[in-house]
Chains A and B, each alone.
Chain A
Amino acid sequence: MPKGRKRTDADYDRETEEAAKRMNKYPEHLRSARNSKTWSDFLVNIGVKEEIVESKSGSVFWGKVRDRVQEREMPISYRQAAEHGADIETSYYRDTKGRITKTDTGKPVFIYRNMETGRFVSKESLQKA
């Protein structure tokens, strides 16, 4: 921004968008440990896997929590929407009442959060899936 120029709403929007892009950027060399034999062997060999099963915590418990959470409607903030992808950011905005509304119709739309991936999806897209 040139020196002396006053900051405008467009500047804030651009910076928010850039920050959201930076946050979404995932280090390329990191990959999911789900199919890693080294990691699963490591957990089994040192006995952590056994401890997790013994304490009945971990995936089983949180799997049930996720199932319940996914059933209820979850409105999201503009910031959350911006952090979770440009597709939502361009389709939705927050109106003065703090609700998520669709840009073209102005009709309130509730957003669901996918707890597995951390992404937010609309009710319509869930019904179509």
Chain B
Amino acid sequence: MKVNLLFNYQFRCYLSRLEKREGIGSKIYAETDKHILLWDFDDAKLSAIILTLLMSQKSHSLPTIYIVSSSPKKYHAYCFTARPFREVIHIISEASQIDVKYLRLGMIRGYYTLRISTRRYDSFKLIEVLKSSIPDEVDPADVSISEYMTTNKGGKNAKR
């Protein structure tokens, strides 16, 4: 409901249903300035993503990278390394297919988050594993997790 009042004043009132979600945080729990790498790709070709990540893996000596499909044409990628946040920004921003909103929000907050709880029409699927001779630097259980409330039902996906 939006009511325009006199002069420069406006009254707005919203009612929306919130959903509880869980997300994995890039920050390694109980460590100072150590992060795993999390990528979020939107509307990108899988072949282009693989190529970009392979180049990053080689140039930054990264361990195995896991590419997961979160919904059609949307992909997440995980790499269980332990890098300072500045380096994380540097590596993630190298990927031209990265979701810019995700990149910007993470920079401001100081850590990156990816949703791990499934939505009504979506399920996660492991698409590709980019193997590396470098072993993982972090036990996946050592990362941090957060719960949040959101109104986002997945945009176009919710209408299917």
Bound together, the chains give a CA A104 to CA B75 distance in angstroms of 56
User: Could you tell me which residues of chain B, from 125 to 151, have a CB within 8 Å of some CB in chain A?
Assistant: 125-126, 129, 131, 135-148
User: Which 10 A-B pairs rank lowest in CB-CB distance, beginning with the nearest?
Assistant: A57-B135, A59-B139, A30-B144, A33-B145, A118-B31, A58-B136, A32-B29, A46-B126, A57-B136, A42-B116
Mind listing 6 A-B residue pairs with CB under 8 Å? A23-B32, A30-B27, A39-B24, A42-B116, A57-B64, A118-B31
Which of chain A's residues has its CB closest to B113's CB? A30
Partner of B144, one of A33, A48, A83: A33
Residues of B bordering A, CB below 8 Å: 22, 24-25, 27, 29-34, 63-64, 66, 68, 78, 80, 109-111, 116-117, 124-126, 129, 131, 135-148
Query: Number of A interface residues, CB 8 Å?
Result: 35
Seed contacts A47-B126, A48-B140; 17 additional CB < 8 Å A-B pairs:
A23-B33, A29-B146, A31-B144, A31-B146, A32-B29, A32-B145, A33-B141, A39-B141, A48-B78, A52-B64, A55-B64, A57-B136, A58-B136, A59-B139, A62-B139, A83-B33, A118-B31
Which residues from chain A sit less than 8 Å from chain B, CB to CB? 23-24, 26-27, 29-34, 36, 38-40, 42-43, 45-49, 51-52, 55, 57-59, 61-63, 83-84, 116-118
Which residue of B is nearest A23, CB measured?
A: B32
Name the CB-closest residue of A to B117: A38
In the complex, chain B residues whose CB is within 8 Å of the CB of A26: 27, 30
B127, closest chain A residue (CB): A46
Contact A33 B126 (CB under 8 A): no
B32, B124, B136, B143: the one contacting A118 at CB < 8 Å is B32
